[in-house]
Amino acid sequence: MAGITLSGLNGLDTGSIVEQLMKLEAVPQSRLKTQLTSAQSARTTLQGLNTQVAALAAQAKELAEPKGWQTLGVTSSSTDVAVRGTTGGVPASFDVTVDRVATAHRLSFTATASTTDVVVTGGTTVQLEVGGTTRTLETGDGTLGGLVSALNASGTGLRATTVRLDDGSSRLVVTAAATGAAGAFTLTQADGSDLLSGATVRAGEDARVTIGGDTVSSASNTFSDTVPGVAFTVTAAAVGTTVQVTSAVDGSAVGDKVAKLVESVNAALSRIDALSSYNATTRTAGVLARETAVRGTRDDLLDSIYPEGGGSLASLGIQTTRDGRLVFDRAAFDTAYAADPAATQAAFTGTTSGTTGFASRVQRAAETASDPFDGTLSAAVVGRGQSIDRLEDRISDWDARLELRRTTLARQYTALDTALSQLNSQSSWLSSQLGSMSSGS
């Protein structure tokens, strides 16, 4: 057998022979391992594609619903009140009178000390009470420096610092990390007595504004849910002033959403092509070339451009290219939306009669593929996982089979080596006997 060597007249190199034979025996398992690597790579690739298509479904869903088109452009009569539009609102105009801004609760302690001075009495712990809940903080050595470190530890919700005074001593100042009245806290010795002779309190307050005669509060300086479709942030410079806020439908923002949706559809189509197409130059197929679910997803996404009952979206600026991509003419969309916002929206969301719009069709195609329970791509991922499990079981079975085969071969070649050694010994004995007979004669 090619590759098998003898160690000489003293016997066979049984270890080398067994190793070489085992390489031949393990060829079927090596093929299985190669298949396993390919299957694992394909599953990972499928999972990534499935995640991308699921994100596309969520993006399309926003434009498939009427509230996704209620994007407002918001303006403020003063830079001291910053505004932005959100979804779900309607055009409006209102005045905001800023009564006060939000502040954080703060304690400035009376007694001063060096950072190395012990300021915690009766042990090394202090009591922190926030919102009716009391917790014990361990300060280590009980010094002012140790207390500051404990107060700044993760989870306390506080920011502690010391202010060095002219006489060389330091004053402890502790502030709630979040603004608003809910951040109020107390800090005392472990027995409830004053720490550092007590403290001057600046109570935390919520920001407060008046809109149409009604007072509204916020723990921060941002009011996100007060007026649908509008979020605004007040500053200290605006206190005592009245600012006019105006919101109107922002066609530019809607066009941006449509452009991003078309871009996402094209990104999904490009990735599918890269993973499933055949390269004639390199004569290689994509890792997912045999996945029917992948090809089906591509077809469904591309078909979503065609309205039910015929027609096209060309007048809205969306068309297809020869290589199976979507193109978006922003100017054409803006013109159509400005001329008839309701009809343009219906072409994307669908009509009350049950006709689906472009965004609805993209959503349906993407969800058909990526639904975690019965999506075609999700099912393909599960199928790959089952194949991987079977391959791993077969490889594991081969481990036991090869180990048994190794033991058998080692036993056989050890016995053969022993037999050859015995034959060599007998040959040597016969040679010596024949030599003796020749000498005697």
- Pick from 216, 233, 249: which residue ends a domain? 249
Among candidate residues 167, 202, 237, the one where a domain is terminated: 202
Domain check: are 295 and 318 in the same one? yes
Res. 12 pLDDT band, cuts 50 70 90: low
Instruction: Say if CB 200 and CB 142 are below 8 A apart.
Output: no
pLDDT at 352: 60
Number of structural domains the chain divides into: 3
pLDDT of 17 strictly over 60: yes
Model pLDDT for residues 168-212, shown as the tens digit of each residue: 999 999 999 999 999 999 999 999 999 999 999 999 999 999 999
281 falls in which pLDDT band (50, 70, 90)?
A: confident
- Is residue 440 in a domain? no
Q: Average pLDDT, stretch 313-333?
A: 92
Residue identified by tokens 């490889």 is 395
369: in domain: yes
Q: Determine the structural domain holding residue 214 and report its residue range.
A: 72-101+207-249
pTM: 0.59
Q: Are residues 368 and 277 in the same domain?
A: yes
Q: Mark whether 259 and 245 lie in a shared domain.
A: no
Are residues 368 and 261 part of one domain?
yes
Higher pLDDT, 310 or 129: 129
Out of 356, 373, 390, pick the residue that ends a domain.
373
pLDDT in tens, 148-171: 999 999 899 999 999 999 999 999
Residues 80 and 215 both lie in one domain = yes
